[in-house]
């Protein structure tokens, strides 16, 4: 369509809006056209039909939820999107939350859970009639059951991403190793005399080999061994470090335990580094931040588009909530990639900077959109530009992750899903700003196919793409552990000794 035709069409629309009769509330609500709608309802002059006229009560507005009008798709697209994210929260909590699964396993297995290592030690070391061999057997009494217990989370994750469906298994094994290290980290709990010291030493010296067997058994069920090789090697390093620490500790004490002046209360801990620092728990909090922000955005948008035609006061108030909700969505969707990619201790300053900038600009946009003057139709382009700027801020940390970050902090980062989701946001905002395609065929896309509807559908699609990308970067964070100084120093000293 030529520019002359478009210009003529705009003149006709403007004339139609100027010459229409003053609005008067009808006795009964109806779905009317542009001439019959009050001025506050007309945000897009290219939408000619489908206005809800006279729906001035909450009951009438709620009934319009099941009617066909020019806001139907806007309401339902984001309402269904919000429901999807409520379901995803339940799914993520149930199938990607090992603490909940651990509780279920613990209750089901009773006192012989793999997480009751402390009970094994305490029962064995304080029993008068058991020798060190019997105490050592406590560590392996449930060995055949451990692998079976670890099968449950694997089954639960079959529906997850094909290359990450063993993620919870890692945390099961990690928790097992970490808990074992925590149990033996304070010998004073178990050692009261020379005899108990000897028994404790015999038991803990068997622990590394026992843990190695359990790791091998658990990973026998892993589907893609190459993908999980880094995690396997890391756990082996941890177990090797535990064994070395136990041997060193026992050697340092073996010559002084017989001394009359030795006080067992002054016994040194086995590990110089707290066991919880050896394995980093990967929190799911950023995933929930993203999903909650998506629900706030989509829910407030759906609420606005449903109730906007109730009255001018409702329209002016709720439209600000709609715009502000988009800034919340942008902040939430950018939280997982920044948080997980800058997860390691050495990268925390960068994480704080990038998250701070993202939250600052989104909060600024949130405040701006609450100002009454900016909800006017003439600021439509400005609103779209602000959305685009807030979204593009994430390109800076992603560039940092991809090209300026050492592989030891994150082996790989999948930029495509984040870039694709961002492109969907920007494309939708561009259609919204330009009022395409309805500006080329006014009145043709009134009920279905106008720019605001495309913007809504693209927002939901982008949010779901980013959810999938968030799960992937979360699992990648589980797969590729952060550097641990004490382990690196231990490996370096071993290499030096082997080279001599």
From first to last of its 500 residues, the chain has per-residue pLDDT tens of: 444 444 555 665 666 556 666 666 777 999 999 888 998 899 899 999 999 999 999 999 999 999 999 999 999 999 999 999 999 999 888 777 544 333 333 333 333 333 344 544 454 444 433 444 443 444 344 334 434 433 443 343 333 333 334 455 656 667 667 767 776 776 766 666 666 667 677 777 777 777 777 777 766 766 666 777 787 888 888 888 888 888 887 777 766 656 666 665 556 677 766 777 777 778 899 999 999 999 999 999 999 999 999 999 999 899 888 888 989 999 999 999 999 999 998 999 999 999 999 999 999 888 888 888 877 777 877 877 887 788 788 889 989 988 888 888 887 788 999 999 988 988 988 898 899 999 999 999 999 999 999 999 999 999 999 999 998 898 888 888 888 888 888 888 777 666 55
pLDDT of residue 13: 62
pLDDT of residue 463: 94
- Which tokens go with 451? 């720019």
| Whether the Cβ atoms of residue 17 and residue 34 lie closer than 8 Å to each other | yes
- Which tokens go with 389? 């700027």
Please name the helix (run of DSSP H) or strand (run of DSSP E) that holds residue 392, with its range, or none: helix 380-392
> What is the CATH T-level fold of the domain 72-91+284-485, as seen in this structure?
Rhopdopsin 7-helix transmembrane proteins (1.20.1070)
Q: How far is CA 366 from CA 213, 381, 433, in A?
A: 54, 16, 19
pLDDT of residue 351: 96
**CA gap 497, 454 in Å, rounded:** 65
Binding residues: 305, 452, 456
Report which DSSP code applies to 481: P
Report which DSSP code applies to 49: E
Residue 53 bridge partners (DSSP): 30
- Which tokens go with 351? 């994480």
| Whether the Cβ atoms of residue 394 and residue 337 lie closer than 8 Å to each other | yes
| Whether the Cβ atoms of residue 477 and residue 343 lie closer than 8 Å to each other | yes
Bond from prior residue into 437 cis (ω within 30 degrees of 0): yes
Distance of CA 229 to the CA centre of its chain: 24
Closest CA to 66 of 81, 84, 79: 79
Binding residues for Zn(2+): 305, 452, 456
**pTM of the model as a whole:** 0.78
């Amino acid at each position: 369509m030529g520019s002359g035709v478009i210009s003529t069409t705009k003149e006709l629309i403007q004339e139609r809006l100027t010459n229409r009769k003053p609005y008067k509330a009808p006795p009964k609500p109806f779905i009317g056209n542009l001439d019959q709608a009050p001025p506050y309802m007309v945000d897009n002059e290219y939408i000619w039909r489908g206005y809800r006229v006279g729906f001035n009560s909450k009951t009438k507005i709620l009934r319009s939820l099941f009617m066909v009008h020019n806001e139907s798709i806007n309401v339902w697209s984001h309402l269904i999107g919000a429901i999807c994210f409520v379901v995803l929260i339940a799914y993520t909590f149930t199938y990607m939350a090992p603490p909940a699964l651990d509780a279920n396993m613990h209750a089901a297995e009773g006192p012989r859970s793999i997480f009751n290592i402390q009970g094994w030690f305490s029962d064995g070391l304080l029993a008068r009639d058991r020798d060190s061999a019997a105490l050592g057997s406590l560590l392996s009494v449930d060995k055949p059951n451990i692998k079976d217990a670890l099968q449950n989370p694997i089954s639960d994750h079959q529906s997850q991403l094909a290359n990450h469906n063993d993620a919870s298994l890692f945390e099961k094994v990690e928790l097992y190793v970490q808990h074992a290290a925590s149990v033996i980290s304070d010998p004073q709990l178990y050692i009261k005399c020379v005899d108990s010291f000897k028994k404790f030493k015999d038991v803990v010296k068997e622990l590394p080999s026992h843990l190695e067997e359990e790791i091998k058994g658990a990973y026998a069920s892993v589907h893609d061994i190459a993908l999980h090789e880094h995690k396997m090697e890391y756990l082996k390093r941890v177990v090797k470090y535990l064994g070395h620490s136990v041997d060193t500790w026992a050697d340092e004490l073996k010559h002084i335990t017989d001394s009359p002046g030795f006080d067992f209360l002054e016994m040194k801990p086995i590990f110089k580094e707290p066991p919880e620092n050896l394995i980093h728990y990967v929190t799911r909090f950023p995933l929930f931040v993203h999903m909650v922000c998506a629900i706030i955005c989509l829910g407030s948008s759906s609420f606005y588009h449903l109730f906007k035609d109730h009255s001018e006061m409702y329209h002016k108030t709720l439209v600000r909530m709609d715009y502000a909700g988009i800034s919340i969505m942008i902040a939430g969707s950018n939280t997982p990639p920044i948080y997980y990619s800058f997860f390691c201790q050495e990268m925390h300053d960068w994480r704080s900077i990038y998250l701070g900038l993202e939250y600052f600009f989104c909060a600024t946009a949130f405040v701006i959109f609450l100002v009454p003057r900016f909800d006017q139709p003439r600021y439509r382009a400005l609103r779209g530009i602000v959305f685009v700027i807030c979204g593009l801020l994430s390109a800076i940390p992603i560039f940092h992750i991809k090209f300026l970050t050492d592989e030891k902090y994150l082996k790989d980062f999948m930029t495509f899903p984040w870039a694709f989701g961002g492109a969907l946001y920007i494309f939708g905002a561009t259609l919204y700003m330009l009022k395409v395609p309805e500006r080329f065929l006014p009145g043709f896309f009134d009920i279905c196919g106008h720019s605001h509807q495309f913007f809504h559908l693209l927002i939901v699609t982008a949010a779901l793409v980013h959810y999938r990308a968030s799960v992937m970067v979360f699992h990648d964070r589980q797969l590729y552990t952060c550097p641990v100084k004490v382990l690196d120093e231990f490996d370096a000293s071993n290499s030096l000794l082997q080279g001599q």
